[in-house]
Structure 1
Amino acid sequence: MDVPLSILDLAHIGQGETASESLQASVQLAQRAEQWGYRRIWYAEHHNMPRIASSATSVLIGHVAAHTHSIRLGAGGVMLPNHAPLTIAEQFGTLETLFPGRIDLGLGRAPGSDQKTTRALRRDAAAADSFPQDVQELQGYLGDATRVPGVEATPGKGTGVPLYILGSSLFGAKLAAALGLPYSFASHFAPNALEDAVALYRRQFTPSEQLQEPYVIAGVNIIAADTTEQAQEQFQAAKRGRLRQLTGRSFTREEADMALESPAGQQVQQMMTYSAVGTPAEAKDYLDGFAKRAQADELMVASMAPDRDAWLRSVELLADVSGLIPA
């Protein structure tokens, strides 16, 4: 693999699992990924989603960091409209103080929830409008010069926690370029604007203290298995699961397969446009081509494997075929 590989851990709570078991699995994945040579693992902030355990993102990062040694860990991302920038600066400044040189802070402007949950979070629905200003305020708290006179983050000031702008549209690309920050595109579930957004980001990028050259991380789904047939079976199971999640309906296996072929099921198929599925060699070939298409400096893989064993196996096979695991 010509570019570094990292992992997006969705902290999925599987059928019949508890949140505790999901978080234990995240620790296990991080420990294995560290051994296998992945660069970083990110966790995303979601709320009011019964199958996702990463709602308290900074707490999860701290827990995993305490059970690993060297792999970078971060948010992919914190949904900044849900929080005061000072609070996030203090949280991630604390993490960086405890685990120096290992913490990333990816920032998104989506609420990561529905409207009812947004109200429960005590956030104004219009908070996303101030996202650019909030990013700069946060940047000041983590740097050496606060933008709010008389207010500093402790811990936080001077830690220089690296910021990343997350996005799935041209808005994030423009902001990342203007601020001279790395840009992470969510092509693993929102593929449509990938090439246009990356091209715009690279064209408009302005160097900053954090970053002298543009840096793109692109998300991509991955299912690697010992045979092509096994990988395709797992991929179909993942699509059934996504369909149930999006519709809130219970489908039999046969009903889900029929629905996926209908116009209503095309949204699921479209979301999974960028998916490396097959044997390790087939998955690697796909990722090599995807990295070139996305003009990516790094790939963030999200495993869709339907069970824990297949999930870990997929990540291990990819690391092995990519030459990450030491011989």
Structure 2
Amino acid sequence: MTDWPALSVLDLVPVREGGTLPEAYAATVELAQAAERLGYKRFWVAEHHAMDGVAGGAASVVLAHIGNATSTIRIGSGGIMLPNHTPFQIAEQFGTLDALFPGRIDLGLGRAPGAGPELQRALRKNLNQAAEHFPQDVLELRALITGAVDLPIRATPGYGANVEFWMLGSSLFGAQLAARLGMPYAFAAHFAPDHLDQALELYRRDFQPSEQLERPHVMVAMNVFAAETDDEAVLLASSQQQSFVRLRSGSPGKLPPPIANYLDSLPPPSRAMLEHLGQAGAVGSRETVKEKIAGFVERTGADEIIVSGAAFDPEARIRSLELTTEALAG
């Protein structure tokens, strides 16, 4: 395989056990700078709230920090959970980002509120009800920025901004909406691969061209951990695997250090869960990573691959990005 899809990076701004928020933000900046140097197309951060191990809750603020430390790589949200906000607020925030970093801003939008009653109270939102209004809110947000609809109020900053809109999803709903609105579509296979094939088929089949996009455009997320050897990569990946298991068992926390032979220590249900997620992953040496990514691209026909994967050692994460580009170049 010679024609590889564009590569991008998804970073959740992980906070390590024993680490601090300033260290997490510094590590994210260094990772973004490395991604830019290595030729990755985009660097996205995701909105999560009330999680000790994820520091990207104020996504637009984090993006401003990253934008100020980089110069060419596109930066954006993977994604903004729109039910948590008003379209007007997001138009102002991303209009500001576009003014600061012209032509570099992606706005990926998600519907899942992902919040229990405590967070709903803290955000002063009925998130389940807000999620029902997601399609209308996407249209309103797009109109606030593009001016395609004459609204009674203008977002300043926001109106006229050169923001690239993306629809995010892990189910068929996002695929249907992205197709109907003629938006590029990013599928979160790295943590929810169940509906991957059906969602991509639906999106491509029902896609309606728009002013933004003439034909379907798909980006798929993978967990990628590359190291000099397969064993080193498996060890590197064990930090995120521990985080996944803790999250699914209701006890999330900061990113733990790696553990040798972690999978062997797990009960069958937890091991099966990680192996299921592994279908959208590439863990190993250059050769292994190249083989796994090639198989995933063949399965999905993705136009872009966005690589995720939190590592306890920030330098090892940067090295993983380097080895991934070397694998595909070779």
> Is TM (by shorter chain) over 0.5?
yes
Q: Given that residues 12 and 310 in structure 2 are in contact (C-alpha distance below 8 angstroms), is that contact kept between their aligned partners in structure 1?
A: no
SS of residue paired to 2:28: helix
Report how far residue 303 of structure 1 moved: 2.0
CA distance in 2, matches of 1:244, 1:254: 17
Q: Given that residues 235 and 261 in structure 2 are in contact (C-alpha distance below 8 angstroms), is that contact kept between their aligned partners in structure 1?
A: no
Q: Which residue of 2 aligns with 1:142?
A: 145
SS of residue paired to 1:273: helix
**C-alpha distance 113-20 of structure 1, shift in aligned 2 (>3 A):** farther
Q: Which residue of 2 aligns with 1:227?
A: 229
SS of residue paired to 1:49: coil
Number of aligned residues: 323
- 1:182-220 deviation per Cα after TM superposition (whole angstroms, max 9, x unaligned): 000000000010010000000000000000010000000
Q: Which residue of 1 aligns with 2:49?
A: 47
CA distance in 2, matches of 1:109, 1:151: 24
Letter in 1 for 2:295: G
Q: Given that residues 260 and 266 in structure 1 are in contact (C-alpha distance below 8 angstroms), is that contact kept between their aligned partners in structure 2?
A: no
Report how far residue 309 of structure 1 moved: 2.1
Equivalent residues in 2 for 1:1-327, closer than 5 Å: 2-125=4-127, 126-148=129-151, 150-247=152-249, 248=251, 257=263, 260-323=266-329
**C-alpha distance 249-11 of structure 1, shift in aligned 2 (>3 A):** closer
List gaps (5 residues or longer) in structure 1: none
CA distance in 2, matches of 1:82, 1:25: 27
**C-alpha distance 254-26 of structure 1, shift in aligned 2 (>3 A):** closer
CA RMSD of the aligned region, Å?
2.1
Letter in 2 for 1:20: P
Q: Normalized against structure 1, the TM-score is what?
A: 0.93
CA distance in 1, matches of 2:85, 2:215: 29
CA distance in 2, matches of 1:254, 1:160: 46
Q: Given that residues 6 and 41 in structure 2 are in contact (C-alpha distance below 8 angstroms), is that contact kept between their aligned partners in structure 1?
A: yes
Letter in 2 for 1:74: G
SS of residue paired to 1:314: helix
Q: Given that residues 235 and 259 in structure 2 are in contact (C-alpha distance below 8 angstroms), is that contact kept between their aligned partners in structure 1?
A: no
Q: Given that residues 141 and 153 in structure 1 are in contact (C-alpha distance below 8 angstroms), is that contact kept between their aligned partners in structure 2?
A: yes
SS of residue paired to 2:308: strand
**C-alpha distance 155-227 of structure 1, shift in aligned 2 (>3 A):** same
- The worse-fitting range, judged by mean Cα deviation, of 23-32 and 251-260 is 251-260
CA distance in 2, matches of 1:200, 1:274: 19
CA distance in 1, matches of 2:238, 2:94: 38
Q: Given that residues 54 and 60 in structure 1 are in contact (C-alpha distance below 8 angstroms), is that contact kept between their aligned partners in structure 2?
A: yes
CA distance in 2, matches of 1:297, 1:74: 18
CA distance in 2, matches of 1:140, 1:23: 32
CA distance in 1, matches of 2:38, 2:262: 35
Q: Given that residues 260 and 268 in structure 1 are in contact (C-alpha distance below 8 angstroms), is that contact kept between their aligned partners in structure 2?
A: no
Report how far residue 249 of structure 1 moved: 7.8
Letter in 1 for 2:273: Q
CA distance in 2, matches of 1:48, 1:196: 32
CA distance in 1, matches of 2:260, 2:11: 29
Report how far residue 254 of structure 1 moved: 9.2
Q: Given that residues 74 and 106 in structure 1 are in contact (C-alpha distance below 8 angstroms), is that contact kept between their aligned partners in structure 2?
A: yes
Percent identical pairs in the alignment equals 45
